[in-house]
Amino acid sequence: MNSALNVCVIDDDEIYQFTITKILKSIELAENITVFSDGEEAFDFLIDNLNNEKELPDVILLDINMPIMDGFQFMEEYIKIKPKVGKKITIYMVSSSVDPVDIDKAKSISEISDYIIKPVSPGLLRTILTELHDSGKI
């Protein structure tokens, strides 16, 4: 797969940020990787780039528990602006939470493609991105 994917990681855990960035680089499926430590920073980035398809992510890996704006609050705001976003963005909720309440809540939001429990393996990430690419969803 030779595609210039933009992947956005929204997570306040610096070790996870480092690890997921290394995995993405190692499997060579993402050309641009943007990292934010909370939902508000990421949301502001989306607002600033609503019509800039080149800057907008193809895929967002979104954590639940973060300071300032958590993953569910980010999704509430994203849903409001989604009609104005200049491209299709596929969102995965990625969390260490195995709480059925969190999982059910994430699965009830149609804009969230799936719920992934950390840690994320390179094989799983490769499979997800390859399937998205091959199906034409990104």
**Phi and psi angles of residue 100, each rounded to the nearest 5 degrees, phi first:** -55, -30
* Residue 63 CB partners (closer than 8 Å, separation 6+): 10, 11, 12, 13, 16, 70, 71, 93, 94, 95
CA distances from 126 to 25, 71, 95, 136 (A): 11, 23, 18, 15
Domain 13-98+109-124: CATH class, spelled out = alpha beta
Query: Mind listing the pLDDT tens digit for each residue in 102-114?
Result: 999 999 999 999 9
Phi, psi (degrees; rounded to nearest 5) at 60: -120, 130
- Give the lowest-confidence range in 22-31, 89-98, 115-124: 22-31
pLDDT in tens, 118-132: 999 999 999 988 888
pLDDT band at 133 (very low <50, low <70, confident <90, very high): confident
pLDDT, mean over the chain: 92
Q: Model confidence at 44, in pLDDT bands (50, 70, 90)?
A: very high
CA–CA separation, 79 vs 16, rounded Å? 26
Domain ranges for the chain:
13-98+109-124
Residue 136 has a pLDDT of 72
